[in-house]
Amino acid sequence: MSTIDDAKKTLGLRLREIRKDARLTGRQLAALASWHYTKVSKVEHGATMPSEADLEAWTFHCMAQSELPDLIATAREIEKAYAELRRLHRAGTAQYQRELLKRVAKGRRFRVFTVNLVPAAFQTASYASTVLGDAAEMLGHPADIGPTVEARLARARLFRSEGRLYHAVILQNVLNAAVVPNEVMTEQLRHMLDLQQAPSLRLGIVPVGTRRYMPMCEFNITDDTEVRVETFSAIVRVTQPREIAVYAKVFDHYARRAVYGSAAAEMIRRALEELEQQGATC
């Protein structure tokens, strides 16, 4: 799922399948539950978020009460995503990064897939400052960039600490993405080359032209207990085992198509040379 709306639509599709398995029309289910006849359609299309009472009634009348705990957990995850976004707007990005640091400190294995950004464990202070500053300006978060970067870098050090394993897979275009000025990216690429030697870090790069799944979103997997997806409109945390398994499968797909070690280093060097040539011709 890439947005809250996607999550609501996914939940709606699951409820639609439950209703169809019970051989009920939308109007029949609405009548049984004493709802307005349009409510079932709105829920199934993601236009209306069902309450826990709605889910109880839905599964009761569809004789699918064994599905209720998982449906309630999914709905709570969606609500928590909204809550995290509201807190981010109110407390600022530094507070969110500090909370995230506490959360990931409990983890030992991290899998990260990125489409446009350098993964957190590999970011320099200048790179992190630029991308976090741009995000705060674009989304209207409180401008507390200094403390935010400090917390982000503390998280990067945590990822590289003893006893933790950090496996990142990126698309090759991350090396050329113009999300920061050239001088910042030049420093960033050199830093990535240095960090390739870190025993706890593993960096895979999926070459341009490699046959692969279409990338739908960037995501972070902590152990096998949580997936975090940050979108323009929300911070989504996935904790349901079967949903985490989907992200793990996608990660494995990209990881198998990535290159590592000397081949990845050569790709970084070529991107660095291109940036340096651009600077020389300016």
Burial call 167-199: b when 16+ CB within 10 Å, e when fewer: bbbbbbebbebeebeeebbbebbebbeebbeee
Query: Is 70 exceeded by the pLDDT of residue 138?
Result: yes
Q: What percent of the chain has pLDDT over 90?
A: 55
Q: Which two tokens stand for residue 105?
A: 């400190």
**What Cα–Cα distance (Å) separates residue 28 from each residue in 17, 66, 68?**
15, 21, 20
C-alpha to C-alpha distance for 104 and 211, rounded to whole angstroms: 32
Query: Is 70 exceeded by the pLDDT of residue 90?
Result: no
CATH T-level topology, domain 92-281: Endonuclease; Chain A (3.30.870)
Query: Is 70 exceeded by the pLDDT of residue 153?
Result: yes
Instruction: Enter the pTM of the model.
Output: 0.72
Segments of the chain assigned to CATH 1.10.260.40: 4-79
Residue 205's CB is within 10 A of a number of other CB atoms, namely 26
Q: Which residue has the higher pLDDT, 146 or 16?
A: 16
Q: Which residue has the higher pLDDT, 195 or 77?
A: 195
Q: What is the pLDDT of residue 44?
A: 95
Spell out where the chain has E strands: 109-114, 165-171, 201-206, 219-222, 226-230, 235-238
Q: Rounded mean pLDDT of 14-29?
A: 96
pLDDT confidence tier of residue 54, bands split at 50, 70 and 90: very high
Strand 226-230 with 219-222, pairing:
antiparallel
Q: Which CATH number fits domain 4-79: 1.10.260.40, 3.10.290.10, 3.40.50.300, 3.30.390.50?
A: 1.10.260.40
Closest CA to 274 of 196, 176, 188, 178: 176
Question: What are 201's strand-pairing partners?
Answer: 166
List pLDDT tens digits, range 180-212: 999 999 999 999 999 988 889 999 999 999 998
Q: Rounded mean pLDDT of 74-78?
A: 82
Residue 52's CB is within 10 A of a number of other CB atoms, namely 13
Query: Is 70 exceeded by the pLDDT of residue 3?
Result: no
Q: Which two tokens stand for residue 111?
A: 């899998």
Q: What is the pLDDT of residue 2?
A: 44
List pLDDT tens digits, range 160-173: 888 899 999 999 99
Helix or strand or coil: residue 112?
strand
Helix or strand or coil: residue 176?
coil
Segments of the chain assigned to CATH 3.30.870.10: 92-281
Taking the mean position of all CA atoms in its chain, how far away is CA 257? 20
Residue 46 near residue 37, CB atoms below 8 Å:
no
C-alpha to C-alpha distance for 128 and 256, rounded to whole angstroms: 28
Q: Rounded mean pLDDT of 220-236?
A: 82
Residue 44 near residue 26, CB atoms below 8 Å:
yes
Closest CA to 163 of 225, 117, 214, 108: 108
Query: Is 90 exceeded by the pLDDT of residue 145?
Result: no
Residue 184 near residue 211, CB atoms below 8 Å:
no
Residue 94 near residue 144, CB atoms below 8 Å:
yes
